[in-house]
Amino acid sequence: MNDIRIPGFKRRKKATIVVDETPKPSQKMVDVLIVGAGFAGLGTAIRLRQAGVHNVVILERGTEVGGTWRDNQYPGAACDIVSNLYSYSFAQNPDWSRSFSGSGEILGYIRQLVKRFDLERLIRFGQNVTGMVFDEPAGIWNVNTADGQTHRARAVVMCQGPLSNSSWPKIPGLETYRGHKIHSARWDHGYDFRGKKVAVVGTGASSIQIVPELVKQAAQVKVFQRTPGWVMPRPDYVSPEWSKKLFARVPAAQSAFRELLFWVHESMALGVVWTTPMTSVMERLMRMYLRSEVKDPWLRRQLTPDFRLGCKRILISNDWYKSLQAPNCELVTWPIAGMSPKGIRTVEGIEHQFDCIVFATGFDVSKAGSPFPVTGLGGRNLDSDWARGAQAYKSVNVSGYPNVFLTFGPNSGPGHNSALVYMEAQIGYIVRGVGKLLGEDLAVLDVKPEVQKAHNDEIQKRLRRTNWNSGCKSWYLTEDGFNSTMYPGLATQYRSQMARFDGKAYRTVPMTVREPV
Amino acid sequence: MQLELDKMLAKIKDSQWALADIDWDAPGRELVTENKELYPKLKAFMADLMWIEHVGARGFAAMAKKAPTEDLREIYRYFHAEEQKHANAEMALMKRWGMLDDADTLPEPNINIRLVVEWLDTYADDMPLSVLGSVIPMLEITLDGALCKFLLDTVDDPVCHAAFEKINADEARHLGVDFHVLEMLGHGPLYRQTLEFVAKLLDPRLMIGIASYLPLLNKMRDNLVELGLKEEKLYTAVQKYERIGGTPGGRRNPWFRLISRQGRWVIDRANRAYHVPVDALVKLTAKIPPRALPPVPTWVKQLTWKPAA
Ligand SMILES: Cc1cc2nc3c(=O)[nH]c(=O)nc-3n(C[C@H](O)[C@H](O)[C@H](O)COP(=O)(O)OP(=O)(O)OC[C@H]3O[C@@H](n4cnc5c(N)ncnc54)[C@H](O)[C@@H]3O)c2cc1C
Ligand SMILES: [Fe+2]
Ligand SMILES: [Fe+2]
């Protein structure tokens, strides 16, 4: 029995892959094809159907829904935005057990969505999308999957997730290590940490959740840090029974609470997105927190960030600093020189030997280039169009790629608020776009290049004033420092930008020859 | 001396070595342990050397927080660790030669080292890059450079040579970057540099630093002479600092000029105006009871001779 599994979460029996049992070269055509069954893909399907679009299919490469929350089940995994806001406003859950719910509970919520909105039959599991090509005369996307199928759709919504491909760090000799290796986004629940010497590489959002749990189990934990982040304590509480009852009985009360949380986060943008007096106040508070938690000046120095707040994601934790000071834990800040069969060699010349190394090193984020080959008008491909940084119109449409919609597209990332707030705004916009495409029976709905360019010029101009572009290195930026991930503003601004679908921004071509369906 | 820092960083990353690369039990230790005359002096010398590396490491740690570019910051992070590696390797040699009193205690630092450690711990992070970036090359070229060469001339143990081949290769890169930065520091309006220089010189925190640094140098010189190092060798090293650092940019840097001047004083024993007070400081500091100093900072405790942890 291993006790690191998140309580209340039962893993489904291994892989009952529901592969479409009737493979055929030309699949039935659908109105909307969605790639990915994470929060975004499922949310899009729900809203489309509520808007009357029923001919929808979701292709998911995995064997179950949930995306991020299916993959990230490491000990301690939880959201760092209060669950009431890290959930859909159109599907609120009165039962969140605590302020920041664990991964298992969030996955349970996602599964609940599938049940409640009857999505299961739309999903084709085991379908890894490998590319898609636009058939311009027909106004149809041909979407290919790894098993050789081609799906046909009037519109495609790409919901493959911003953080769905876990990445190993580029450490020389990584492959020579003989001990056990675990990636945070593919946890090995069978491994027993008791009595083991363990390394955790990385000190980002996942690591600060994993380390406090590992310290409780392993004999020794060494944490390898490159750059320290800003850490904020979180108001962690177990939801009182009365609030669950209240929210169940009076949904408006939960909406009001959600609204309050939204505005608390919005106000943080003033410190996080831009450098303002509030940034300094917040930095001062976090330094005071560090000081109160860490008495040793050298350790404190090692944990003090040398970039402005907001330049990278703020880390939220109550027990990170404490666990680093546990008797069986050590923070290693020497640069990593390479890996050897027995462990990690750092530049101070010492080989740190381990039974197991946990990589909490994050994800391959595609900031330049497309996640899979996408061929648009006149054979152009998204990969080269985005080679020097991804660009889109309002983060959802890309000129030259008609009838394609993105969630978490370029410059849609929140630095200070729930990803789902942004996602809902995108989904709303996509539903209106799809509505126009189908309602007016268009073959082509393509954002005008000059409109997209003007939008991006404005975004980049506004980005220049934000903390992300203030000279620090982070995964938000490409190698050349181009920011194609973050939205430079308040969630409120983003929402209002997405509230209207401006038909005039798009070039449209009506469908003339109707394909037989 | 112009240098492309990104290429240098790549080279540094490619040139990593570990204590485990050296066989610390290979034959040859008796070349040191059975040399009765050399042994006690070498023991004191190695302890000094290892502490100087460690102090240098802390200096680079401070610089890593000040460097103007990401590449240079990263280079200093590496140099910080590499100096630590040198200290660790030198401790491993001491271990090999039976110079560590017991496996888990560090060699006793002399009082002047202790004072410098104390000063670094308290003030190094407050010093501007111009001060640190001008002092470090001097330390590297005289102490690191001259000492290591001297050691190899004196000690025949092949393991010592194997270790210092690696250490010296690192040092060559350190010096390259040190003098590149020294040159860089000289850019910018002269009046501003001079003003900042004067303002900083009057900073009591720096004065304390100077007051702990000067006796350390004199003490080191004495220890070296004791061990048989020719003073001319030190003199050559100081001249090298002046020569390599004396680029147009370097000469505009008032810190460079102060430090080269002071370097000459250190090696010129006839300069009584300098040596009488500094030697007095050495004597005076020798009277400070170790108990009067606060406990060593925790960064010191990371030193180890053990290749694997
Ligand atoms: C550990 C962790 C914690 C997080 N915590 C928070 C938080 O607290 N608050 C917050 O706002 N955000 C958080 N995020 C961000 C999080 O990614 C988003 O909030 C959200 O879950 C993204 O949902 P998604 O549907 O867009 O992507 P995902 O959940 O990644 O889903 C994408 C799905 O697409 C599938 N897919 C990918 N490529 C293909 C393909 N080629 N073919 C077929 N299917 C494909 C994947 O298998 C996956 O199921 C966190 C992220 C991580 C990794
Ligand atoms: Fe050195
Ligand atoms: Fe050096």
Residue B96 burial (10 A CB sphere; 0-12, 13-18, 19+): buried
What DSSP string runs through B126-141? Answer: GS-HHHHHHHHHHIII
Task: List, in sequence order, every residue forming a beta bridge with A142; answer none if it has no partner.
Answer: A133, A152
Give me the pLDDT at residue A17, please: 46
CB-based contact B81 A351, cutoff 8 Å: no
Residues of chain A found within 8 Å of residue B299, distances taken between Cβ atoms = 298
Which residue's CA lies nearest to atom 12 of ligand 1? A419
Nearest one of B90, B87, B71, B84 to B11, comparing CA atoms: B71
Identity of the amino acid at A40: A
Query: Are residue A200 and residue A288 in the same domain, yes or no?
Result: yes
Beta carbons of B225 and B117 less than 8 angstroms apart: no
Query: Are residue A310 and residue A203 in the same domain, yes or no?
Result: yes
A80 lines ligand 1 (CB under 6 A): yes
Query: Are residue A325 and residue A198 in the same domain, yes or no?
Result: yes
The owner of tokens 């069969």 is A341
Q: For residue range B230-248, list pLDDT tens digits in order.
A: 777 777 877 888 888 878 7
Identity of the amino acid at A362: G
B162 touches chain A (CB under 8 A): no
What DSSP character marks residue A417? S
Pocket test for ligand 1, best of A71, A163, A314 (most atoms within 8 A of CB): A163
Which residue's CA lies nearest to atom 8 of ligand 1? A79
**Residue A187: inside a domain, yes or no?**
yes
Nearest one of B220, B253, B254 to B237, comparing CA atoms: B220
How many CB pairs (< 8 A) connect A and B? 66
| Per-domain boundaries in chain B | 5-12+29-299
Query: Are residue A377 and residue A462 in the same domain, yes or no?
Result: yes
Residue where a domain terminates, one of A359, A390, A418: A359
Look at residue B284 and give its three-state secondary structure. Answer: helix
The owner of tokens 């994993």 is A210
Query: Are residue A46 and residue A190 in the same domain, yes or no?
Result: no
Residues of chain B found within 8 Å of residue A346, distances taken between Cβ atoms = 81
Residue of B50, B85, B303 to mutate, testing the A interface (most A Cβ within 10 Å of its Cβ): B85
Helix axes A251-272, A241-249, angle to 10 degrees: 110
Task: Specify the number of domains making up chain A.
Answer: 2
Q: How far is the CA of A179 from the centre of ligand 1 (A)?
A: 29
Q: For residue range B295-306, list pLDDT tens digits in order.
A: 888 888 889 999
Torsion of CA B23, B29, B31, B35, to 10 degrees: 150
Pocket test for ligand 1, best of A33, A42, A68 (most atoms within 8 A of CB): A68
Query: Are residue A111 and residue A178 in the same domain, yes or no?
Result: no
The rounded percent of chain A whose pLDDT value lies above 90 is: 64
Q: How far apart are the first and last CA of chain A?
A: 53
Ligand 1 atom index nearest CA of A81 = 8
Nearest Cβ partner for B77 among A297, A301, A335: A335
Show the tokens assigned to A123: 């999903």
Give me the pLDDT at residue A366, please: 67
Residues of chain A with pLDDT under 50: 1-24, 516-517
Show the tokens assigned to B31: 């070349």
Query: Are residue A213 and residue A126 in the same domain, yes or no?
Result: no
**Residue A92: inside a domain, yes or no?**
yes
Q: For residue range A456-480, list pLDDT tens digits in order.
A: 999 998 888 888 777 777 777 777 7
Which CATH number goes with the domain that contains A410? Answer: 3.50.50.60
What DSSP character marks residue B29? T
Query: Are residue A486 and residue A377 in the same domain, yes or no?
Result: yes
Show the tokens assigned to B137: 């090359």
Look at residue A178 and give its three-state secondary structure. Answer: coil
Identity of the amino acid at A274: W
Q: For residue range B117-157, list pLDDT tens digits in order.
A: 888 888 888 888 888 888 888 888 877 667 777 788 889 99
CB-based contact B308 A349, cutoff 8 Å: no
- Beta strands (DSSP E) in A61-173 are 123-125, 129-135, 140-145, 150-158
H or E element: which one contains B191?
helix B190-201
What DSSP string runs through B148-170? Answer: HHHHHHH---HHHHHHHHHHHHH
**Which ipTM score applies to this complex?**
0.89
What's the Rg (C-alpha) of chain A?
23
Give me the pLDDT at residue A282, please: 87
A408 lines ligand 1 (CB under 6 A): yes
CB-based contact B298 A351, cutoff 8 Å: no
Nearest Cβ partner for A346 among B81, B121, B298: B81
Residues of chain B with pLDDT under 50: 1
Query: Are residue A86 and residue A216 in the same domain, yes or no?
Result: no
**Residue A204: inside a domain, yes or no?**
yes
Query: Are residue A416 and residue A488 in the same domain, yes or no?
Result: yes
Which domain, by its residues, includes A224? 174-230+274-359
* CA–CA distance, B134 with B256 (Å, rounded to integer): 6
Q: For residue range A90-148, list pLDDT tens digits in order.
A: 998 888 888 899 999 999 999 999 999 999 999 999 999 999 999 999 999 999 999 99
* CA–CA distance, B91 with B100 (Å, rounded to integer): 8
B308 touches chain A (CB under 8 A): yes
The owner of tokens 């100087």 is B52
| pTM, rounded to two decimals | 0.89
The 3-class secondary structure across A292-317, one letter per residue, is: HHCCCHHHHHHHCCCCCCCCCCCEEC
Q: How far is the CA of B86 from the centre of ligand 2 (A)?
A: 5
B34-53 burial string, b = 16+ CB within 10 Å, else e? Answer: eeeebeebbbbbbbbbbbbb
Give me the long-range contacts of A507-512 (CB less than 8 A, separation at least 24). Answer: A507/A444, A507/A445, A507/A446, A507/A447, A507/A448, A508/A440, A508/A442, A508/A444, A508/A445, A508/A446, A509/A139, A509/A442, A509/A443, A509/A444, A510/A440, A510/A441, A510/A442, A510/A443, A511/A139, A511/A441, A511/A442, A511/A443, A512/A443
Residues of chain A found within 8 Å of residue B16, distances taken between Cβ atoms = 337-338, 345, 347
**Residue A341: inside a domain, yes or no?**
yes
Task: List, in sequence order, every residue forming a beta bridge with A346; answer none if it has no partner.
Answer: A336
Residues within 5 Å of ion ligand 3 by Cβ? B 140, 144, 171, 174
A143 lines ligand 1 (CB under 6 A): no
Question: What is the Cβ-side half-sphere exposure of residue B48, based on CA atoms within 13 angstroms?
Answer: 24
CATH 1.20.910 fits B5-12+29-299, yes or no: yes
- Cα A102 to Cα A74, A98, A261, A338, A417: the distances in Å are 10, 8, 18, 34, 18
Query: Are residue A289 and residue A428 in the same domain, yes or no?
Result: no
Q: Which backbone phi and psi does A394 adopt, to 5 degrees?
A: 50, 30
Residue where a domain terminates, one of A330, A359, A388: A359
Look at residue A29 and give its three-state secondary structure. Answer: strand
**Residue A384: inside a domain, yes or no?**
yes
Residue of B15, B82, B121, B167 to mutate, testing the A interface (most A Cβ within 10 Å of its Cβ): B82
User: How open is the CA angle B302-B308-B309, to the nearest 5 degrees?
Assistant: 55
Give me the pLDDT at residue A117, please: 95
Give me the pLDDT at residue A367, please: 66
Give me the pLDDT at residue A95, please: 86
Neighbours of B69 (CB within 10 A): 11
**Residue A9: inside a domain, yes or no?**
no
Query: Are residue A287 and residue A200 in the same domain, yes or no?
Result: yes
Q: How far apart are the first and last CA of chain B?
A: 39
Residue B120 to chain A, least CA–CA distance (Å)? 12
